[in-house]
Amino acid sequence: MRWSCLLSLSASWLAAASPASAFIAYVSNEKGNTISVIDTDNWTVTATIKVGQRPRGIEFTRDGKFVMVAVGDDDTIQLIDTKTRQVVDTLPSGPDPELFAQDAAGKILYVANENDNTVTVIDIEKRTRLGDIQVGVEPEGMTVSPDGKILINTSETTNMAHFIDTATRQVVANVLVDSRPRFAEYKHDGSELWVSSEIGGTVSIIDPVRRVVTGKVTFNVPGLRSEAIQPVGVGITRDDKTAFVALGPANRVAVVDATSHAVTKYLLVGQRVWHMAFTPDEKYLLVTNGVSNDVSVIDVAAQKVIKTIQVGELPWGVTISQ
């Protein structure tokens, strides 16, 4: 009943000639074993897709045809057809995949497998495994440098960012950061690598050339004990001027001047904020709130939370169509 009602709703909305700015967001619900599909035009959930066990890392393929979602407890990555919104195939990750990154061409996928200290390299089109790279304990954060030459993996118990040469698939450098590094993000011009440390409570700024930590973003929310500030997801605007950092159980997203690395504002969002994604026009930023089961919509220019959308149980990751 609810299903058909939702379908007809979305159908009638489609018929009403959608404005060009409409995007589709997919949100992985870690406990619900579902994906909530959000229409960014009217900020409503238009569909809920059943997936495997414990969906977390989620991303569109570059051609927009599929959404890849790591279902950790099923030890695989599922592919959702964005037309039919059905799980149609899987990719051969290692045990307990969590986050992944793809190369610029959208051909190669690098997957962090939390359970066996490896990064798995996958040919997306052929759905085959090309190899494994040994990294530190509990690999998690993944990103590829803008020039495509370096893959970054963070390991949560080893507390490092591993620099991996994408051509040779060898670890070429390791940079120690604060405790439990969870997420890595390059500036678009490749001048800085940002790594969030959940337990350490900081974001390390790494010089990608010298491969050393050159600074740290620290956070201080009045009235909040420092242990509750646990940086996770990081998003940097395309002009590399502003960064947003999700602070977990601090229930806030920090707005950071990406040049001076100073926090300029804290935005109150839902409980235990995890990850984020910009709409392609960069007007909005969507962040997932794990404990309050919702997604906050941030107006990027105004730096304000404008909307909260109820999704499934324990939302974790989010990806938005181009």
Partner 1 sequence: MIRSLIGAIGLSVAATNALAADPLEIGIGYLRHAGVKSTLSLVEQPAGNDGVAGAQLAIEDNNTTGKFLSQHFTLTEVRLREGDDVVKAASTLAEHDGFIIADLPADELLKVADALRDRGSVLLDAGASDDRLREQDCRANVIHVAPTRSMLADALAQYLVWKQWKRWLLVVGSHDNDKLYADALRRAAGRFGAKIVQERTFEDTGGARRTDSGVTLIQRQIPVFTQQAPAYDVLVAADESEVFASYLPYRTWDPRPVAGSAGLIPTSWDAAHDQWGAIQIQNRFVKLNARHMTALDMQAWTAARMVGEAASRTGSSDPKTVFDFIKGKDFSVAAFKGQRLTLRDWNLQLRQPILLVDGRLVVSVSPQEGFLHQVSELDTLGVDRPETKCKLQ
Nearer to partner 1, 39 or 96 (CB): 96
Count the alpha carbons within 13 Å of 32 in the hemisphere toward its beta carbon.
21
Q: Which of 106, 190, 215, 280 binds partner 1 (CB under 8 A)?
A: 215
* 112, amino acid identity: A
Query: Quick check: 321 binds partner 1 (CB under 8 A)?
Result: no
Query: Quick check: 48 binds partner 1 (CB under 8 A)?
Result: no
Q: Which of 6, 173, 291, 305 binds partner 1 (CB under 8 A)?
A: 173
Closest CA to 267 of 286, 280, 291: 286
The continuous run of DSSP H or E covering 15 comes out as: helix 2-15
R_g of the chain computed on alpha carbons: 19
Stretch that binds partner 1, among 36-44, 75-83, 206-214, 303-311 (CB under 8 A): 206-214
Site for partner 1 in 261-320 (CB under 8 A): 261-263
Cβ-based neighbours of 270, under 8 Å, separated by 6 or more: 251, 289, 291, 292, 293, 294, 295, 296, 308
Phi, psi of 24 (to 5 degrees): -115, 125
Q: Which of 67, 68, 101, 171 binds partner 1 (CB under 8 A)?
A: 171
Query: Quick check: 220 binds partner 1 (CB under 8 A)?
Result: yes
Question: β-strands 97-102, 160-165: how paired?
Answer: unpaired
Site for partner 1 in 53-112 (CB under 8 A): 96
3-state secondary structure of 69: strand
Nearer to partner 1, 9 or 173 (CB): 173
CB of 167 to partner 1, least distance (A): 15
Query: Quick check: 225 binds partner 1 (CB under 8 A)?
Result: yes
State the virtual CA torsion across 14, 18, 20, 24 in degrees, nearest 10: -40
Q: DSSP 3-state helix, strand, coil percentages of the chain (rounded to 5)?
A: 5, 50, 40
Stretch that binds partner 1, among 3-11, 37-45, 200-208, 311-319 (CB under 8 A): 200-208
Query: Quick check: 127 binds partner 1 (CB under 8 A)?
Result: no
Q: How many residues does the chain have?
A: 322
Query: Quick check: 136 binds partner 1 (CB under 8 A)?
Result: yes
Query: Quick check: 185 binds partner 1 (CB under 8 A)?
Result: no
CA atoms of 94 and 110, how far apart (whole Å): 11
Query: Quick check: 159 binds partner 1 (CB under 8 A)?
Result: yes
Closest CA to 163 of 195, 187, 189: 195
Q: Which of 44, 90, 157, 166 binds partner 1 (CB under 8 A)?
A: 157
Q: How many residues bind partner 1, per CB under 8 A?
A: 48
Q: Which of 6, 22, 228, 305 binds partner 1 (CB under 8 A)?
A: 228
Q: Which residues bind partner 1 (CB under 8 A)?
A: 96, 114-115, 117, 136-138, 155-160, 162, 170-177, 179-180, 199-202, 210-220, 225, 227-228, 230, 249, 260-263
